[in-house]
Amino acid sequence: MKLDLQTELCRRLNITYPVIQAGMAGGPTTAEMVAGVSNAGGLGKLGAAYMVPDAIRDTVRAIRRLTDRPFGVNLFTVDMTDDLSRVREVQRMLDPLREELGIAHGKEDLRTPNWFAEQFQVLLEEEVPVISTAFGVLPDDAMREAKAAGRTVMTMVTTVEEAKLAEEKGADVLVAQGSDAGGHRGTFDITKHPYGANIGTFSLVPQIVDNVRVPVVAAGGVMDGRGLVAALALGAQGVQLGTRFLTSAESGAHPAYKKALLESTEEDTVITKAFSGRPARGIRNAFIDHVENSGVAPLPFPSQNTATGDIRKEAAAQNDPRYLSLWAGQATRLLTDGDRAEEIVKEIIAQAQELLK
């Protein structure tokens, strides 16, 4: 049998099973979720891109109290400089949604914090075993520091070219993210592909595997043991699952978001820049329709994300999924409701073992 759950990736990451939980930014990846996945033998990851550096430190310590297994933290490596040249127009376009929610009109003096250097420093200081990035490779100096400290560097890629570049720059593990994936994917440069490089997971994985030497992890549409075995067959050494953990017991996702996920089908998602200015896959809702029908282009990332923050926050407070970002992959019919992260990993492994028996 050539297909085996104990892959080189497992040895590389010092984990038992090649199941990685995606480090989704914005709150769903709690310390409990990360530790639960790692305790089950997989690799939990904290999505820390939007977190204040001190909060990352606190959460990493909380994870450590819950598990002695390896885990990861995911950051963004994209330029966080604001471009607010069109902020007035965009805020006026968004204001009707604020009126609907009963909050003040949008401000024009926005400013997105750029915490990358401090965030990265926390990961080094707290000895986070796996440093993962989206939207690009670690900057050269950070890469050197991470490698010198013996950390494993994981990079999300969406094309063969990105994969080759990441390998060349020193990434130890590549996550091949197909267009099936939910939320923001890792496309390095959205100038060439304004809606992300949308290569289906099934097509992307073997083409990346054939063009790099480092272990490749499949992401995008992986939901169960069938997906794990399929990914291994395509040449991956493991899988990364994001959406699958959003409806877990430990998920920090808003209850209205979980409900929308559980009620959605494969036909419900779209790729939109409406929330953040970067393309991301989510369940179509009134917010997306409003922005996309407005004729006003979103601000570039991260400014659009900052501009829409008050609306999303208030929608969450009002339990109103119409204006929340409902990030989701294309296989939500395979979701379960309220399983513990640990159970999810165990179930995936049991199903894969059964298929491979």
284 touches a second copy by CB under 8 A: no
- Strand pairing report for 269-272 and 280-283: antiparallel
The footprint of a second copy on residues 336-355 (CB under 8 A) is 354-355
Q: How many CB atoms lie within 10 A of CB 64?
A: 16
Residue 327's closest CA among 249, 216, 200, 242?
Answer: 242
Binding mask 44-83 for a second copy (x = CB under 8 A): ----------------------------------------
CB of 283 to a second copy, least distance (A): 14
Give bridge partners of residue 183 from the DSSP assignment: 281
* Beta carbon nearer to a second copy, 149 or 233: 233
Given a contact cutoff of 8 angstroms between Cβ atoms, the answer to whether 60 and 128 are in contact is yes
Q: What H or E segment, with its residue span, contains residue 118?
A: helix 116-125
357 touches a second copy by CB under 8 A: yes
CB of 258 to a second copy, least distance (A): 19
Nearest-angstrom CA–CA distance, 156 and 77: 11
CB of 72 to a second copy, least distance (A): 23
Give the end-to-end CA distance of the chain in Å, rounded to a whole number. 10
Nearest-angstrom CA–CA distance, 239 and 220: 9
226 touches a second copy by CB under 8 A: yes
262 touches a second copy by CB under 8 A: no
223 touches a second copy by CB under 8 A: yes
* Beta carbon nearer to a second copy, 224 or 250: 224
Give bridge partners of residue 46 from the DSSP assignment: 73
105 touches a second copy by CB under 8 A: no
Q: Which two tokens stand for residue 64?
A: 């450590």
Q: Which residue has the tokens 């950051």?
A: 75
* Beta carbon nearer to a second copy, 62 or 355: 355
Q: Which residue has the tokens 């990851």?
A: 45
Binding mask 167-196 for a second copy (x = CB under 8 A): -----------xxx-----------xx---
* Beta carbon nearer to a second copy, 35 or 197: 197
334 touches a second copy by CB under 8 A: yes
CB of 266 to a second copy, least distance (A): 5
Given a contact cutoff of 8 angstroms between Cβ atoms, the answer to whether 126 and 57 are in contact is yes
Given a contact cutoff of 8 angstroms between Cβ atoms, the answer to whether 183 and 163 are in contact is no
CB of 317 to a second copy, least distance (A): 32
* Beta carbon nearer to a second copy, 31 or 230: 230
Nearest-angstrom CA–CA distance, 171 and 38: 21
- Applying CB under 8 A, the span of 47-55, 66-74, 142-150, 157-165 interacting with a second copy comes to 157-165
Nearest-angstrom CA–CA distance, 32 and 301: 30
Positions that interact with a second copy (CB under 8 A): 1-3, 159-161, 178-180, 192-193, 197-204, 206-207, 210-211, 218, 220-224, 226-227, 229-231, 233-235, 265-267, 329-331, 333-334, 354-357
